[in-house]
Structure 1
């Protein structure tokens, strides 16, 4: 029974990424014989989950039938969290949202009720969608912090850090729940659906309230020995004596995060710096609204704001130069919330890379802006469900010790 379920989930995963496949293509992707694949497809058709989806393009011979999962056969709950804001989207199997993305202010730091609040807003989103729980394939959650994805533990932002957050939520919600670091699933989204599709070795920089990093090495998402790889924000880059969110001083984050850019904009305006499209009192008390004001000003060509973003981009580029020397990637993708500001980031990052990299290394590395932008984490959260369900071992998170 377990083996059959694993095959089934492996089939779902391949359909999710490919859209539609012939029986022969599916057989090759899951590594099973055509007779066995045909039998499994027929079972899924009888269950009303898979349907024929036309014929493959002609290659001169008989055109094979194509198959796809019915869009409304199952749904995925995608949760994208940062330190302050949580977004929730429920999507069908073709990644199309069934309703507007819900956004909630949910601070993680010094918030002992964060997990209960998270459970409540996910519960409300599923209830509001009116989708039966039996059709919810799972919940994928991207969140900041030091995360052990296999155990479902976040060591940074939740109390009782030795207990499984994923286990607690899975038990409380009645559906499988998987968590991972936000930058890792941003990289997963870019690799599967975005600017890094088709690449084997890519670094994805997650521009946000911190500066995260997702690593695609040899066509696989790389998390490190304990799942903590990619803490780009906390490389000690500056002698500025500024305390970082990690408790150390001079980290990359202390000069380049979006929160720092907002703070610098406010300080500059107080010093009567000229900003054509930022109001003197642009700080609203909401970092989300303040960042959107920065984005709008940048898109309108505000010289002062562009200089702030350019300075941060150059410093990030210095960090990227270190990554290129260490990993020799084919591509660097600038993604996440910060990508809303567009190509303003690209030129200063490239400038720093060209100044600080050995030419032979940088000559084969491209720097691109994300095609997914701020949606990347939500897309990656949905994909996280399929990635986990199709693993060789099914995690029974609901049976783990859970938070009380």
Structure 2
């Protein structure tokens, strides 16, 4: 029960005994017993009173802010990775953002390991105080087996989770990037306290996280959510999966970038060509161009918004969700994408079905993957702080 109690405090920050009883479906005496034990060990602390609901104001509890336990996360997309070390209050202690690291390169695994070494070397934190390492990345990630089946068994990224674990002796978790983003929205974002939601990860590609009955749904083989490869495109462009007609070739930020660069080649003027020289990440250049009103960038973003709306219409007809959240880097472009998404929904959706689904842009946007990647470590390994705390006290006493 300690693990579940600690997880809930990580996700909700402060909770009362009554909150724990409701969330964990356990008796008040059993919850109180665990709380007292964690208080005695200084793992949790009292942090004031909750608002009154008519009776005595209940005492709230939180994770001890002085706990020196940390999480290392690697949030990878096709071309860039961000490495962070956060504490249990979700404060970033160290961060290496947007490191150029193309996953398709033959030496990508070695580059990833080298960056882990760099971020560990850049902080005075003792590695023994890391409760775990979380890696999120695109592809057919089998989190139960700890492998990325997008790669052949001989490829270094196939078993990168085990490689990291063996190298550092730290428990490591691997998960698909879109499912991590879905978890972040469920615990910290717009999907919190909503039983059924669909979370679209709009980045270089288009991913999907599915939340059913309050849990992230993975499907029979763990690969549910391959939204990007629904054959809705009439474009003959070859998709990264090797097939044609995939939604991704017209509804991703990569598509908007490709179309913008093609327009520039046709002598159309776009300030994107200036911004791309000062931004390593082309997505940043595209966002910056749209923010200053560049017509070419805005027009091409509108096109992907319309195609995304076409794909969303399919999801609405099949699953009839309460809400659909657009998250990831694309959520930063909501003011441009939203109108075009709605136009497509109006065009392709049966009104009686569409009216019950709320389309929202995530406020977490580019931070969602980082928060979700840390969350998967917490879900698996938060209880390790109990063992580590005992070991630390034993060393002090000796």
Q: Structure 1 pair 387/251, CA: closer, same or farther in 2 (3 Å)? A: same
Work out the CA distance in 2 between the residues paired with 1:140 and 1:124: 16
Tell me how far apart the structure 2 counterparts of residues 301 and 285 of structure 1 sit (CA, whole Å): 18
In structure 2, the residue matched to 1:343 is: 335
Residues 343 and 369, structure 1, Cα contact 8 Å, conserved in 2: no
Instruction: Name which of 121, 135, 144 aligns with 2:115.
Output: 121
1:62 aligns to 2:68 (yes or no): no
Deviates more, 1:300-309 or 1:373-382: 300-309
In the alignment, the residues of structure 2 paired with residue 246 and residue 17 of structure 1 have an alpha-carbon distance, to the nearest angstrom, of: 35
2: CA distance, partners of 1:9 / 1:127 = 30
In structure 2, C-alpha distance between the alignment counterparts of 1:278 and 1:115, rounded to whole Å: 32
CA contact (8 A) 1:266 1:283 kept: no
Residue 93 of structure 1: aligned partner:
88
How far is 1:75 from its partner? 1.9
The Cα shift of 1:101 comes to 4.3
Q: CA deviation at 1:205?
A: 1.1
Q: SS at the partner of 2:86?
A: strand
Q: Distance in 2 between matches of 1:188 and 1:224?
A: 15
Take 2:275 and 2:45, find their aligned partners in 1: how far apart are those partners?
53
Deviation at 1:231, TM superposition (A): 0.9
Which residue of the partner structure matches residue 258 of structure 2? Answer: 263
Match of 1:3 in 2: none
Equivalent residue, structure 2, for 1:396: none
Match of 1:371 among 346, 358, 363: 363
Q: 1:398 — aligned with what? A: none
| Bigger mean CA offset, 33-42 vs 203-212 | 33-42
Describe the shift of the 1:98–1:234 C-alpha distance in structure 2 as closer, same or farther (beyond 3 A).
same
Aligned length: 381
Q: Is the 8 A contact 1:317 1:353 kept in 2?
A: yes
1:199 to 2:194 alignment: yes
- Closer, same or farther: CA 174–45 of 1 in aligned 2, 3 Å: farther
Aligned to 1:28, what secondary structure does the other structure show? Answer: helix
Question: 2:28 matched to 1:34?
Answer: yes
SS at match of 1:324: helix
Q: Which segment drifts farther, 159-168 or 73-82?
A: 159-168
> 5+ unaligned residues in a row in structure 1: which ranges?
1-6, 392-404
Of 234, 237, 245, the residue aligned with 1:239 is: 234
Matched, 1:187 2:179: no
* Alpha carbons 1:201, 1:329 under 8 Å: kept: yes
Aligned partners of 1:32, 1:58: CA distance in 2, in Å?
23
Query: How far is the alpha carbon of 1:167 from its aligned partner?
Result: 2.9
- Find the partner of 2:134 among 135, 140, 150: 140
User: Deviation digits for residues 283-336 of structure 1, max 9, x if unmatched?
Assistant: 549761x22121111111222211100011101110110000010011111111
Structure 1 SS opposite 2:145? coil
Q: 1:166 deviation in Å? A: 2.5
Residue 216 (structure 1) aligned to one of 201, 205, 211: 211
- Larger CA deviation: 137-146 vs 152-161: 152-161
Distance 2:158 2:306 in 1: 40
- After superposition, the Cα gap between the structure-2 partners of 1:381 and 1:310, relative to the gap in structure 1 and judged at 3 Å, is same
Further displaced range: 263-272 or 99-108: 99-108
Q: SS in structure 1 opposite 2:122?
A: helix
Separation in 2 of the partners of 1:159 and 1:252?
A: 28
Cα RMSD of the aligned pairs, angstroms, is: 2.2
Query: Counterparts of 2:347 and 2:228 in 1: how far apart (Å)?
Result: 21
Distance 2:110 2:161 in 1: 12
What are the within-5 Å matches in structure 2 for residues 321-360 of structure 1? Answer: 321-360=313-352
The structure with higher relative contact order (CA 8 Å, sep 6+) is: 1
Tell me the CA shift for residue 233 of structure 1: 1.2
* Cα distance, 1:349 vs structure 2: 0.7
TM-score (norm 1): 0.88
Greater displacement, 266-275 / 121-130? 121-130
CA distance in 1, matches of 2:50, 2:261: 57
Distance (whole Å) between structure 2 residues aligned to residue 360 and residue 287 of structure 1:
45
**How far apart in 1 are the matches of 2:353 and 2:227?**
20
CA distance in 2, matches of 1:325, 1:58: 43
Question: Structure 2 CA distance, aligned partners of 1:76 and 1:384?
Answer: 10
**Residues 53 and 66 of structure 1 are in contact (CA less than 8 Å); yes or no, is this contact kept in structure 2?**
yes
Name which of structure 1's ranges 136-145 and 363-372 shifts more when overlaid on structure 2.
136-145
Q: What secondary structure, in the 3-state scheme, does the structure 1 residue paired with 2:239 have? A: coil
